[in-house]
Structure 1
Amino acid sequence: MRITVIGGGHGSYAAAAEMYEKGHDVVWWRRDRPAFDALLAVGALQIDDHRGARTVPIGSDGGVAIEADLGAAMKGAEVVIAPVPAFAHEDLARAMAPHLEDGQVVYLPPGSFGSYVFARAAAEAGNSAKAAFAETGTLPYLARKHGVDRVVVSGYATRLPTGVFPANDTDRALDVLGRVYPVERSEDALSGALMNAGPVIHPPLILMNAGPLEHFDAWDIHNEGTQDAIRRVTNALDAERVAVREALGYGAPHFPLADHYSADGDEWMYGNAAHEKLTDSGDWREKIDLHTHRYMREDVEIGLALLTSVGRWAGVPTPVASGLLAVANAITGRTPDTGGRTFEALGLAGLDRGQMTNLMQDGVAL
């Protein structure tokens, strides 16, 4: 299968390597094309995981192809995997919109309701291609880059609840994605967005560890930063997410984050004991700038703001999420809707339940 990987982050590196190793025809594009020069000079990407270390050829015949032109990169692709931060979605959606083709599936892992952003961009560009936009609750990889030519994968997703926009294309889209990832059906794109674990796990960890993060050169929020008091806040925040899902009529499984921390609970997205794999790797001991890090810009200012806005629309109180947004605002000086992904900012707050259902089911009208 021809697969296009978008981006130059941890997830994109891992995706390019895994898709190649699975035997797919892989094309890789990133906005900053010169950033690939060092990797091309080496000619190979090293991947380290539970199976050991090995290399994937980059730029050579039969290897992962590096493409400078986005249109050329997308041409003929059956799946476009875009594990990019949500704050990059608007620009990327506009850039991709003219190049979408019939039958393509664009996968956003995770999406923060980016599937709607991409579909709307295609409609605004006048592209009538029958493409599907899908999103899930987490990156398919616990991964970190180590330099320009090495990625370490501490864990792979075993369950990826995935919503599709428009939902009337779900069967086809999941059939295609099922040849790539362990996807599971979510009702629609908004259901998939409300599976996003980042806005639940990361805001309490960075905001309640703000002191250590500013004091130490590096701090592991997932290890010594994960204490019982913070876990209780995370559980309360996750309960708000589940309450919003239930108010919208979305059914179980809701993938509660508590299962991520449990060694013997229901299998979560990364399987059991994934938290231990993450902390044991040591790869998440890092410097987190509270103003610029993606945990703030993506998970708080986009993901958490989206959750509270959906709660307002559905009539579900979200006091913990709202409180965390207020703390973030005090730290950064930016407003909670900075990321522009609230229902209000998207122009969806005025829809009634029936109109929202129709939008999720049928897509954006051209």
Structure 2
Amino acid sequence: MGSIAIIGAGNVGQAIAGHMSFKGHDVRIFDRWGRDLEPIKANDGIDMTGDVAGHGTPSVLTTDLGQAVSGAEVVIVAAPAFAHAYLSQELASVLAPDQLVLFQPGVLGSGVELARMFALADRRPCLIAETPTSLYTCRLRRPGHVYIGAIKHAVPLAAVPSADTPRALDILRTYFGDRYVPGEDTLTVGLNNCNPIYHVPPAVLNFKTVEDADRHPLHSLVTPRIAEVIDALDRERLALADALGVKAASFWDFLNTAYEVTEGSFVERIVQGYGRQGFPEPDSVKHRYFTEDIPFGLVTWSSLAAQIGLSLPLTDSFVALGTALCGQDFVAGGRTARTLGLLGSDVDGIRAAFVDGAV
């Protein structure tokens, strides 16, 4: 059995921690504030229903990051994207070179950001990897009780540098079998994250329903014209990927791969893919569709595009609209070429950071 530390006690963190401890691994959970740990303590662990049914009991619940990761073979960051910068700075000061950190899921640049923090701390980096989406489709039914709708059969993973990907996959096989599969590199993995494509347009263009907290299923808010906007936004992402030498799948190809949706209009395909889940739309401006998908999705795409002289007008429009609607400067607080140490970089410089780990 192995030893694994989970950073974050939300949906994904509790699903992984519950499942891994249920399987007999030594599991520690870190939560910065400790609020999400109290119900787990009261429940003497985590109850799971759905694709995994059982009860898992982590060995350590702590607000001390050093205690959580000390001696752990694998450290999984399952925290929101807006916490990655802080966590990367802290992790770079306590991790050893023989440990593996997995951003699960990451957003474009998570691995590069951690590698840069190691460099700034003048420390030898650990093994760093990331995925574009979570292996677990899950929701907390209530604290300490998580519903695991599915464990995906194949999620791409890439390391920084990409030459380390086979080593990361070999370590993770002990815990997750062969469900993680090789990704090309973290630039490819990051740019294949379609979350902002589907989440942001319906949320922004139906903003009254956000203010009214109607909680309609997001797919029900996608009209034929909004679906065209989703497609146009996706084409800007694909243009950025092409300019950076990355082969990225379209959002519609993603629906095919993830949910075997191949036919129908754009709206019909979205309903087929997401209708079975019925996840609700945002009910406040603090929802992750705004606080993650804009500053750590759209802003990052726009910032990298600006370094190579590529214009993303629709992407920039949604950033501006989101900033005005939410009353939060998503550019100032987001992940940009500056925060990644890539300000002024050309295509080769950006690729070197993501593919080769040159920071």
TM-score norm. by structure 1 comes to: 0.85
Residue 55, structure 1, aligned to residue 52, structure 2: no
The equivalent of 1:334 in structure 2 is 328
Contact 1:14 1:151 in 2 (8 A): yes
- Give the aligned partner of residue 119 of structure 2: 123
Equivalents in 2 of 1:274, 1:45: separation in Å? 33
Question: In 1, Cα distance between the equivalents of 2:126 and 2:47?
Answer: 33
| 1:354 alignment partner AA | D
Equivalent-residue separation in structure 2 for 1:167 and 1:258 (angstroms): 27
Instruction: Confirm or deny: 8 A CA contact 1:154 1:281 kept in the other structure.
Output: no
The answer to whether the 8 A contact 2:187-2:351 is kept is no
Give the Å deviation of 1:23: 3.7
| RMSD of aligned Cα (Å) | 2.6
| Match of residue 352 from structure 2 | 358
- 1:364–1:33 Cα change, 3 Å: farther
Aligned to 1:173: 168
What amino acid maps onto 2:101 in structure 1?
Answer: V
Note closer, same or farther for the CA distance 1:334–1:359 as it changes in structure 2 (3 Å cut): same
Distance in 1 (CA, whole Å) between partners of 2:78 and 2:215 is 25
For residue 233 of structure 2, what is the aligned residue in structure 1? 237
* Number of aligned residue pairs: 347
Q: Distance in 2 between matches of 1:294 and 1:16?
A: 22
The answer on whether the counterparts of 2:10 and 2:36 sit within 8 Å (CA) in structure 1 is: no
Contact kept in structure 2, 1:115 and 1:165, CA below 8 Å: yes
> Which range is displaced more, 76-85 or 16-25?
16-25
Deviation at 1:287, TM superposition (A): 5.2
- Aligned counterpart, 2:196: 199
Q: CA deviation at 1:298?
A: 0.9
Q: Which residues of 2 match residues 287-326 of structure 1 at below 5 A?
A: 288-290=283-285, 292-326=286-320
Q: Is the 8 A contact 2:213 2:283 kept in 1?
A: no
Q: Counterpart of 1:343 in 2: which secondary structure?
A: coil
Cα 1:43–1:275 shift into 2, 3 Å: farther
1:19 match: 20
Q: Are 1:83 and 1:110, in contact at CA under 8 Å, matched by a contact in 2?
A: yes
Residues 1:243 and 1:183: Cα distance change in structure 2 (over 3 Å): farther
Q: Give the Cα separation in 2 of the matches to 1:155 and 1:148.
A: 19
2:115 aligned partner, one-letter code: A
Match of 1:212 among 190, 209, 214: 209
Q: CA deviation at 1:265?
A: 4.6
The answer for the alignment partner of 1:44 in structure 2 is 45
Query: Which blocks of at least 5 consecutive residues in structure 1 are unaligned?
Result: 267-272
Structure 2: segments with no counterpart, 5+ residues: 263-268
Tell me what 2:84 maps to: 89
Write the mapping of 1:129-168 to structure 2, written as runs, cut at 5 A.
130-168=125-163
Match of 2:266 in 1: none
Shift of 1:183: 2.2
1:189 equivalent in alignment to 2:183: no
SS at match of 1:346: coil
Instruction: Give the TM-score taking structure 2 as reference length.
Output: 0.87
- CA distance in 2 between counterparts of 1:286 and 1:355 reads 38
Contact kept in structure 2, 1:142 and 1:278, CA below 8 Å: no
What per-residue deviation string (whole Å, max 9, x for no partner) do you get for residues 155-208 of structure 1?
A: 322322223212232221232234445223333222222122222221112112
> What percent of counterpart residues are identical?
31
Between 1:195-204 and 1:7-16, the stretch displaced more is 195-204
Deviation for aligned residue 1:260: 4.6
- Checking the alignment, whether the CA contact within 8 Å between 2:203 and 2:281 is kept in structure 1 is no
